[in-house]
Structure 1
Amino acid sequence: MYMRHCRCANCFVPPQILKKLAESKNPDLRRLAVNSLAQSERLRGQRVARSLLAGAIGSAGDGRRSVFDCEGIENLNGARRVRGEGQADVADASVNRAFEGLGLTRDFYASVFGRDSIDDNGMRLNAYVHYGDRYMNAFWDGQQMVFGDGDGEMFDDFTKSLDVVAHELTHAVTEFSAGLIYHNQPGALNESMSDVFGVMVKQWKLKQTAEKADWLIGADIFTPGTGFDALRSLKAPGEAYDHPEYGRDPQPAHMNKYVRLRDISSEDWGGVHINSGIPNHAFYLAATAIGGYAWDVAGQIWYQALLASSPTTDFQAFADTTYEKAGSFGQVEQEAVGEAWRMVGIRVARSVSSRRVPRRALSSAPGSVATNDMADLFDQVDGLSKQVAALAEILRPQKGGR
């Protein structure tokens, strides 16, 4: 039985950007932004129904792809099927890009993680293009991918970015595995998983090492007339964009800048698109420290940790799990993961994992036993620190009396 706890429409563009654009002096841009925000709200109810229906009827289908053309309307039921598995390219480039993006993401999960489509049960992959009037977003609605064309100024056709396709499909992977709820830290982890695996799919296609990759999300479709910006950066959260029209990237890269927002729709369910910058940066740090291709080791660790997570897993729990899973790859890799989390302000609990991973053989010279004793002491201190932090979180007064 697959978990289905995430009940929010997973839209690619963060709401804070659309809200800024809704205040634009350009009336056409303002109208499109307001419409995109309103449509995101309408999607939430629809997504619940589709998610439950998909769970009831099953999803097996050998990962076969279909692309539908909405032709500018917002009713998916009225869309026309224009390309299916095994069929040749069509004249519409958006259709072909969506079709290819679905296939590349499916093949990435199959080749790298042995996953049978996004639900690991051969789920069919359906995509809808040309959704709405220059709709400025893309989303996974619990059953299929939907792409807007963008306004051409702030956002280009969303099918042009492979990491957008992979990001949205990864929401389904998360839903069918950990089921991370779309609120607060679990929701930010949900978004982070989509960014992490989305950027890996892009790197996998380009055969880029962690060192050579740009670690940007949405660079191909965000402000097509402006270079050197993206919606998010795993390498430098908070520095992806800075513009008077749509503001500055608000993502933190460290827990000391964690943004505390209310768990309501208008505040992005506790800032799920904002605080995802913290686990995003941890993955970047781990992948670049380990080296090589991100999907070979760091990606495997994150995937195993995702499978071992639950709907309410928070940053600390996920960090601890990645550290534990990294132990099967070796001490160097495990320490790289632990250090990555430390650099974003999260100290992993080492006490459990250290018993599972043999330490490197220490020198037999005098003092080696003392070195082991000190390492065990540090492990105990780490464990106690975690317990104290958890207790402090419970006792901390909640903002606004919540």
Structure 2
Amino acid sequence: MTAGVPLCAIVPPYVLDRLAEAGHEPAVRSLALDAAHRAARLAPPPPVAASPALSRVIADAGHTQRLPGRTVRTEGQTPTADDSVTHAYDGLGATFALYADAYGRRSIDDQGLRLDATVHYGQNYDNAFWNGHRMVFGDGDGEIFGDFTACIDVIGHELTHGVTQFTAGLEYHDQPGALNESVSDVFGSLVKQYALHQDAAQADWLIGAGLLAPGIQGVALRSMKAPGTAYDDPRLGKDPQPAHLRDYVNTSEDSGGVHINSGIPNHAFYLLATALGGPAWERAGRIWYDALTGRRLPADADFTAFARATVAAAKARYPDQPSIADTVTASWAQVGVSPG
């Protein structure tokens, strides 16, 4: 992994590496995290009083890399003139709403954890990440990436790393790491679909649509519908995600290709959601949520283990509709994974 790139960041280190090698200075600055931040993301989350209600706190780092920054908006306060603050506040709320309304979850830890976020992190910072405590957003450099608060699915993606942290705790390397990233893409997309009232057929199934700056040849960071097609740009390179296990990328970079090989389970979910039809957060999302939170998934789960967990979740959730579990099995088979 590139030194200094935070775990669970939305922009993969191999993209930042390519930009740095090309002399893109804002991306080079994006690679550096101060020692205090590196220590903070390895520390356990701070205790927060449980509350059934949504509670958000948005801070402004003032273009430094010091966290948490100055508090600029708390729950219930009127919007400020800062669009990044408004987008972060609304995105946290949209993520809370999906988990609460669709799955009965009380915040990301299911205990009413306050949702904290920091905007305007660093100078032209080309990333957003969950550090184990809070969401952190860069403004982007305006040449490659725009403001990272502007994509609601990016916010949902990063906060879902927190859900995984408090549930299955999937390890962040190789196949379990790719599952960790994929789960965040799945629920990040569902946050957007839920907020837009879209069913599976209406959704774009893109992660970070609108994040790429004008002139960049691409539509998003990743595509769940067609992994490997999100971008193809002289500066970014070509989207390396596979859609099938036969094309699995064995690499020591990116913690074993966690952002690359996540395309395989991502595509399995897309196939399931579109096969079942209707709102994807209902049956398909419920099956993935049950598998993630069922306390039977090992932290080192590979794709086969997760596929088995989703089939078991479908059978348990829909015992009178065996065709649903069969559809789950068929969706995994289409990406080369057999639940066995």
Fold shared, TM-score > 0.5 on shorter chain: yes
Aligned residues: 329
Structure 1 residues 2-401: aligned runs within 5 Å = 9-24=7-22, 27=23, 30-39=24-33, 43-49=37-43, 52-54=44-46, 57-58=47-48, 60-61=50-51, 62-77=53-68, 79-226=69-216, 229-262=219-252, 267-308=253-294, 309-327=297-315, 328-329=317-318, 330-349=321-340
The answer to whether the 8 A contact 1:326-1:337 is kept is yes
How many percent identity over aligned positions? 53
2: CA distance, partners of 1:249 / 1:333:
32
RMSD over aligned CA atoms reads 1.6
The residue that corresponds to 2:3 in the other structure is: none
- Relative to the length of structure 2, the TM-score reads 0.93
Change (3 A) 1:310 1:121: same
Shift of 1:31: 1.9
1: CA distance, partners of 2:327 / 2:20:
42
Structure 2 stretches lacking a partner, 5+ long: 1-5
2: CA distance, partners of 1:43 / 1:9:
12
Shift of 1:39: 2.6
Shift of 1:33: 1.3
Structure 1 stretches lacking a partner, 5+ long: 1-7, 350-402
2: CA distance, partners of 1:259 / 1:305:
25
1: CA distance, partners of 2:81 / 2:72:
10
Shift of 1:58: 4.4
Letter in 2 for 1:270: G
The answer to whether the 8 A contact 1:170-1:198 is kept is yes
The answer to whether the 8 A contact 2:218-2:233 is kept is no
2: CA distance, partners of 1:48 / 1:245:
32
Letter in 2 for 1:257: D
Name the SS of the counterpart of 2:269 in structure 1.
helix
The answer to whether the 8 A contact 1:9-1:44 is kept is no
1: CA distance, partners of 2:205 / 2:110:
27
The structure whose residues are more often helix, as a share, is 1
2: CA distance, partners of 1:41 / 1:137:
18
2: CA distance, partners of 1:63 / 1:141:
20
- Relative to the length of structure 1, the TM-score reads 0.79
2: CA distance, partners of 1:106 / 1:335:
31
Letter in 2 for 1:204: Y
2: CA distance, partners of 1:199 / 1:46:
28
Name the SS of the counterpart of 2:31 in structure 1.
helix
Larger radius of gyration: 1
The answer to whether the 8 A contact 1:137-1:148 is kept is yes
1:123-144 CA-partner distances (Å, limit 9, x unpaired): 0001100000010000000000
Name the SS of the counterpart of 2:136 in structure 1.
strand
The answer to whether the 8 A contact 2:154-2:188 is kept is yes
